[in-house]
Chains A and B, each alone.
Chain A
C-alpha cells in the first residue's frame, strides 16, 4: 500500500526539483491536450516554449519577454516577503493600478515641461501610491484584525473604478476628441520609462533586477529575512525572538505595495503609455503564480517570471500560427500551478510502501 510519510525536514533536493518536474509534467500533459485538439504536440510545445527564444523572429520576441516579465517579477518579489511570513496580499493588482495612477498624474501635471526631475518624481509618486493602497489592508489587519486577503482583494475592484474615473475625468487627454484615456506618456520624453524600446529595456526591467538582488540579500543575509522566515514557520518562536508581528505585517504589506506600485508606474509610462480604463491586464494576479512557481526565492521568481512571459508570448504565436484557442493556453498556464502544488507534496512528504501491520 502506498503511503505518504512526513519528512522530518523538507527535502532540499525536491525543493529545487519541484518546479522543473512541474514544468516537464505541464509540457507532457499540455502535449496530450494539444494532441486531443488535433495539433501536433511536439510542434505546439516547440512553438510555445522555444520559438520565442530561438525562432527566425526571436530578435523581436526576446525583448518582448523583458516587457512582459518585468512587472511579473517586480510584483512577485514584493509578494514573496509577505507570503513567506504568512501575510497574504492578494490585491497587488489594485496597488499596481493606484501606483500607475499616482505616477502618471505627476507626469501629466508637468506636461509639456521637459526636465530630468520628472521621471524620478513620478517614480516616488508611483511607489507611494502602491504603498498607501497596501497600507489600508495592512492597518486594518493590525488595528482591527480584519482578514487582509479579503480586504486587499476587494480593494482591487475599488482601484478599477478609480482607474475608470481617472481615465474619463481628471487625467483624460484634453486633445483626445472626447474619448477616454490620458495623454501618451511614452511620447513625452521627460516622463517615459523607456530606455531603449527596441531592446525591450525600460526602468521597470532595471528595477526588477535590482529588486531581485536586494531581496536575495535581505532574505539570506539579513536579520529581517530571518524574522520573515521565522514568522512564517513558527509565529510563536518569532514572538519569543522579539519579532513584533504588527510591524512585520506592515513592512511586508508595504514592500509588496511599493513594488506593485512601481511596476504600475513603469508600465503606464512605457509599454502601456496611457492611463486607460482597461490599463490593468492581471499582472497582479499572475504574479501570485510566479511567486509560488519561483518557490518564493528571488532567483526562482526571476526564472518563473521569464517562464510565465514565455507562455504568454509563445501562446500568442501558437494561436496565430497554429489556430490554437486561447482557452488551451490558459489551461496550460493553470496546469503549471496545479502540477507545482501537486509535486510540492514530495518536498514535505516521502512516498513509502507501507507494510501491513501485524
Chain B
C-alpha cells in the first residue's frame, strides 16, 4: 500500500468518524513559520485565528503549530493536522508551498489555503495581500521625512513580493524627493531579532535616517529608538509600542475577514479553490495611524494617497516607469498587470543596488 492510498483511506475513515460524531464542529488548522509572539507576521495570523474562534464560537475549533521549519517538518505537521481531522488548513508562509501541494494531494477532502504562493489545486487556494500599496504610502512619507536622503531597507528574501515592496516604496519616495537613495540589506530571514537589529545598525551607520523593514520583529524599531533620530514603520503588525516615534506609521495585515469568510465557506460547503489578492480597499492591508511626528502637510498628502489607493482611483504602479536598465516597463498612464507584479524580478529605474543572484 502506498502512503497515498493509506493516507487517503485513513482520511476517509476519519471523515466518516468525524461526520458521525462531531457534525457541528469544523476544525481549522494553522501552520506558522514564526512564534506567535513575534509581534509581526505570525502574530497577525494568530490574531486572525482568535478572531475566527470568537466569530464562530463552539461551531469551530482551531489548532496551530508555531515555528515550523519549511521542508519535511512542515509536511509532517500538515499531515498530522489532516489526520487528526482538520477540515481547513491555513499554511502561512511562502516556503510551505510544495509541502502544502504534497499533503493536499493525499487528503482530497481537506481544504488548504496557502499564503503568498502560486501553486493551486482543487483543494488548495492561495491568498495574499497587496502589501505594495502600503509600501507606496511608506515611500511617500519616507521620502519627505529623510534629511540625509538615504533610506535603509531591511529585506528578507529576494522573492517577487519583497522586490515589489522595494519598488513601490522607491517609486513613491522618489516622486516626492528626486534625490532619495535606497540602501538595501538582505537578511535572509523572516524573523531573527539579532540579525534584524544588526542590519538596522549597519544602515544607520551608513547614514540612513529612515528604515523600512520587510522582516517581522520589532528589533529594527528598538535599534532606531536607540539611535534617536531614525524614522521607522511597523511591519505586518502595528508595532504601536514604538509610536509616536520612531514608528510613525505601519502596514497591518488583517487576515481576520478572509479567514472568517473561508471558514464559513467550508461550513456551508461552498468552498472553492481560488486566488485572492486583496489590498487596502477590501481591508486586507491596513495602514496604521500616522503619528504627529509627521508634519501635518505630509500626513494630509499621505492620507490622500491612501484614499486614492483604497477607492482604486490610483494604482501604485502607474506609468511611466522604466526598469532599472532604462528600458520601458510601463508607458505613461499604463497600469501594471497582476501577472507581471506576481513574478516581479527586476528593480525599477533609479535603484542602484542589485537583486542577489
A residues lining the B interface (CB < 8 Å): 57, 59-61, 64, 67, 160, 164-165, 168-169, 177-180, 184, 197-198, 271-274, 276-279, 281, 312-313, 316-317, 319-321, 323, 325-327
Contact = CB atoms under 8 A, between A and B. Distances in A.
A278 B95 contact: yes
Contact of B79 (A60, A160, A274, A279): A60
Contact of A276 (B3, B80, B95): B95
Interface stretch (B58-66, B122-130, B249-257, B330-338): B58-66
B72 interface: yes
A320 B76 contact: no
A325 to B, nearest CB: 7
A316 B157 contact: no
A276 B10 CA distance: 32
Given A168-B356, A178-B345, A320-B65, 14 more contacts: A57-B80, A168-B158, A169-B357, A180-B159, A184-B98, A198-B1, A276-B70, A316-B68, A316-B77, A319-B65, A320-B63, A323-B63, A323-B64, A326-B67
Contacts of B134: none
B265 to A, nearest CB: 23
Contact of B76 (A274, A313, A323): A313
Given A180-B157, A279-B71, A281-B73, A59 B6 contact: yes
Contact of A320 (B7, B64, B71, B72): B64
Contacts of A168: 158, 356-357
A320 B83 contact: no
Interface string B300-342: 0000000000000000000000000000000000000000000
User: How big is the B interface, by class?
Assistant: 35 or more
10 contacts: A60-B80, A165-B356, A178-B160, A178-B343, A179-B159, A180-B158, A276-B71, A278-B71, A281-B69, A281-B71
B35 interface: yes
B155 to A, nearest CB: 12
B67 A60 contact: no
Given A59-B6, A272-B72, A320 B35 contact: no
Contacts of B6: 59, 198
Nearest to B2: A198
B80 A273 contact: no
Given A164-B188, A178-B345, A60 B70 contact: no
A320 B343 contact: no
Interface string B164-188: 0000000000000000000000001
B56 interface: no
B71 A64 contact: no
Contacts of A319: 64-66
A290 to B, nearest CB: 17
B339 to A, nearest CB: 11
Contacts of A317: 80
Q: Which 3 A-B pairs have the closest CB atoms?
A: A198-B3, A271-B72, A178-B345
Interface string B92-136: 001100100000000000000000001000000000000000000
A168 B158 CA distance: 8
A273 B75 CA distance: 12
Nearest to B355: A168
Given A178-B160, A278-B71, A60 B81 contact: no
B214 to A, nearest CB: 15
A316 B76 contact: yes
A302 B83 CA distance: 29
A260 B6 CA distance: 33
A197 B75 CA distance: 13
B29 interface: yes
B84 interface: yes
Contacts of B68: 316
Contacts of B84: 57, 320-321
A64 B35 CA distance: 23
A64 B76 contact: yes
B267 to A, nearest CB: 21
